[in-house]
Amino acid sequence: MNLKKTILAVFILFFSLYGYSQKLVEVWRTGPTMQTPESVYYDADLDVIFVANINENPSEKDGNGYITQLNPDGTVKEMKWVTGLSAPKGMAIFEGKLYVSDIDELVEIDISKKQIVKRYPAPESIFLNDVAACKNGNIFVSDTRTGKIHILEDGIFSVWMDNDELSDVNGLYTENGQLYIGSQKLQVADLKTKELKTLRSDCNGIDGLEKDNKDNFVFSNWAGRIYYLDGDQLTKLWDSTAEKINTADVFFAKKLDLLLVPTFFDNQVVAYRIEK
């Protein structure tokens, strides 16, 4: 092999190992002003970040949970924008309504009125968690403790999928007629046929499940890890398990090009840019 070919081979090897790896770069943080923030959601039309504050116990119906509104730079727009919740977790928006899971019910909030307008009980549910909205208005909600996925369809809240493969189900993401499902593994279900397929089985417990502006998955483990999935290449972007700083239900704000991370017991929301 001549010198030019040798240099080229080394160059290609270097970039295959190092040149395309992603990393998180902090852009801003709120400071410890939240109260057990579990989930975040950015609305591009309103240019507002919603934060679901459990405020202590994630399983107790104590009525002290609330939703905060942040500006895109992380400053507080309104700390207690809507109250009257117990342990709000996953959120999604459809046609001016914010849907929030709250232990054993799905709560519908009219954004313009800043008030709860309806509650949808889920009998026999235990720990409703993530929420995802389809373009047709169907709202999907995971129940981590029962391993079920619920659906709000035409005003009726019911079980959509009950499958032994959904143990520890949490993060949800929907697009193009498919529901991506995060648990100990990453799965996808066809919304029409309910056919369920496993995409990866080495995910260690998915909490927030998102896609970035490059159509790649970004997901978190509650214990304090964030992963990036580019094709078949899984990269760990973050690990704060040693510091016991959680990475709960993350959200990728595509308009801002930011990954928003609620730190749960650390009581902050941190915004990161994913860079190479």
Q: Report the mean per-residue pLDDT for the chain.
A: 93
- Provide the 8-state DSSP code for 180: E
Which pLDDT band holds residue 276 (cuts at 50, 70, 90)? confident
The type of residue at 232 is: D
Which pLDDT band holds residue 21 (cuts at 50, 70, 90)? confident
Which pLDDT band holds residue 4 (cuts at 50, 70, 90)? very low
DSSP helix/strand/coil, 224: coil
Summarize pLDDT for 115-133 with one digit per residue, the tens. Answer: 999 999 999 999 999 999 9
In percent, the amount of the chain with pLDDT more than 70 equals 93
Question: String of b and e for 81-106 (b: at least 16 CB within 10 Å)?
Answer: bbebbbbbbbbbbbeebbbbbbbbbb
Per-residue model confidence (pLDDT) at position 2: 55
Which pLDDT band holds residue 218 (cuts at 50, 70, 90)? very high
**Is residue 7 scored above 70 in pLDDT?**
no
Per-residue model confidence (pLDDT) at position 10: 38
53-60 LR contacts (CB < 8 Å, sep 24+): 53/88, 54/87, 54/88, 54/89, 57/87, 58/87, 58/89, 58/127, 59/87, 59/103, 59/127, 60/86, 60/87
Q: Which of 225, 226, 222, 234 is nearest to 252 (CA)?
A: 226
The type of residue at 155 is: G
Summarize pLDDT for 173-207 with one digit per residue, the tens. Answer: 999 999 999 999 999 999 999 999 999 999 999 99
- The answer to whether 88 touches 101, Cβ cutoff 8 Å, is yes
Per-residue model confidence (pLDDT) at position 200: 97
Task: Give the number of other Cβ atoms within 10 Å of residue 47's Cβ.
Answer: 13
**Is residue 5 scored above 90 in pLDDT?**
no
Summarize pLDDT for 221-275 with one digit per residue, the tens. Answer: 999 999 999 999 999 999 999 999 999 999 999 999 999 999 999 999 999 999 9
pTM above 0.85? yes
Summarize pLDDT for 68-77 with one digit per residue, the tens. Answer: 999 999 999 9
The DSSP line for 83-142 is EEESSEEEEEEETTEEEEEEBSEEEEEETTTTEEEEEEE-TT---EEEEEE-TTS-EEEE
Determine the Cα angle at 10 with ends 7 and 14, to 5°: 140
Per-residue model confidence (pLDDT) at position 101: 98
- Please state, in angstroms and rounded to a whole number, the distance separating the CA atoms of residues 69 and 60: 23
